[in-house]
Structure 1
C-alpha cells in the first residue's frame, strides 16, 4: 500500500471515528449543547416535578400539585431583573392571549416562579405581574418559601441561577410546559411564544 493510500485510509478512519463519537455524544446529532440535550431528554422522558409549596402575589399558599389535570406553563424570574425576565413576561402575555379564553383556568394556566424569595415578597410579585397583565388567577406570580424546595425545583426544571456581582442573577431562561400528570413535558425558547401557544392548543 502506497504512502498516499495509507494516508487517505488513516484520514478516513479518523473522520469515521470522530463522526461516530460526535453522533454518540450528541444523541444522534440531535443535541449540540447541554441545553439542547436537556430539551431532547425531556421530550423523550417527561420528568416529574416536585410538589413544592408556593406563596402567590396575594399571600395565598398552594402547591404545584394543585394544577394536576391542567396544562401549566412555567417560567422562572426575579422581579428586579431588567433584561431576560422582561422578555419572559412579554412572552407569557403573548401565550396567554393566544390560547382560547375559555380554556384559561379550566384547562390551562400560567405560573411565574421567583428564585429570589427573600426579596420577592407578595407585593413585589403583584407589582411585577401588573406590568404584564397577570390577573393573579389564570396567571399567578409566586415564590418558594423553603430554600431546599427551591433548589429541588430548579434542579427538576434544569434552571441554573448564579448570583452576579451587582446583587442580581445570571440564569438560563425558557418556557416550560408541565402536563396534566404533573410532569415536565417540553421546554421552549422564550422567543417563540406563539409556537408554544400552538402546542398548548393542540393538547387542549
Structure 2
C-alpha cells in the first residue's frame, strides 16, 4: 500500500513538473499564449523587407523607424476575423492619432493592388498613416510570418485559418507585444504607454 501511494505521488509530481514547464510556470496554456510571452520577453526586429501598398508605393523598413506601428496580418477575402480586425484598426486610427497602422496581406496569390485598395476603402485606411500592403516576394512573406509567429493554413473553402492579433512594433522597428484586439479599450490602454516613450 505504501509503495503504491509513493508511486502515485511520484507520478503526480512528475506530471505537475512537466505541466509547470510546458506552461511557463503556469503562465500560459496555449501555443498562442506561449507566442505572446516569447515576444514580450524577447522583442525582435521585423525583417527588412519591401512591401507594396494599396497605391503601388514601396513601403520599406524606414517607414517603421521612429514611430509606433500596429500591425495586423490579413487576407482581403476573409469574411470573419480579418474584417473584424479591419474594423478595429478603423477605430484605432481615430482613437490613437499618434500610431501608424499596417495591414499586411499574406494572400499573395489573390491580393493584388486592387484588392488592397478595396480593403483600404472598406475600412478607412488613408494610405498615409494606415497602409494596406503585401510583400513583394514569397521569401519576404515567410520571413514576416515567422518573425511574428503567425500561422497561416489553407482551408477547404479557398480561404485560410490563421491566428489573429494586433502586433505592436516599437519606434526601433522591433516587435515587442502581441495583443488581443478586443476589447478595444484594453487594447488602447496597452498601446498608449508606448506612444509616450
Q: Which runs of 4+ in 1 moved over 6 A?
A: none
Equivalent position to 1:37, from 12, 34, 37: 34
- Residue 125 of structure 2 corresponds to residue 134 of structure 1: yes
In structure 2, distance between residues paired with 1:165 and 1:17: 40
Is the CA contact 1:73–1:178 (under 8 Å) kept in the aligned structure 2?
yes
User: What is the alpha-carbon distance in structure 1 between the residues aligned to residue 178 and residue 137 of structure 2?
Assistant: 25
Across the aligned residues of Structure 1 and Structure 2, the Cα RMSD in angstroms comes to 1.4
Task: Indicate conservation of the 8 Å contact 1:95/1:194, yes or no.
Answer: no
- Tell me the equivalent position of 1:165: 156
Q: Which residue of 1 aligns with 2:70?
A: 73
Aligned to 1:192: 183
Structure 1 segment 1-204 matched on structure 2, within 5 A: 3=1, 5-99=2-96, 101=97, 103=98, 108-204=99-195
Q: What TM-score, normalized by structure 1, do the two folds share?
A: 0.90
CA distance in 2, matches of 1:94, 1:15: 48
CA-to-aligned-CA distance 1:121-154 (integer Å, 9 cap, x gap): 2221111111111111111101111111111111
Tell which deviates more after alignment, 43-52 or 118-127. 118-127
Alignment gaps of 5+ in structure 1: none
Separation (CA, whole Å) in 2 of partners of 1:55 and 1:127:
15
Shift of 1:56: 0.5
Q: Find the residue that maps to 2:77 and give its secondary structure.
A: coil
Asked if structure 2 preserves the Cα contact closer than 8 Å seen for 1:162 and 1:171, the reply is yes
- State the distance in 2 between where 1:67 and 1:154 align: 17
| Equivalent-residue separation in structure 2 for 1:46 and 1:136 (angstroms) | 27
The question of whether the paired residues in 2 share the 8 Å contact of 1:94 and 1:194 is answered with no
* Structure 2 spans left out of the alignment, 5+ residues: none
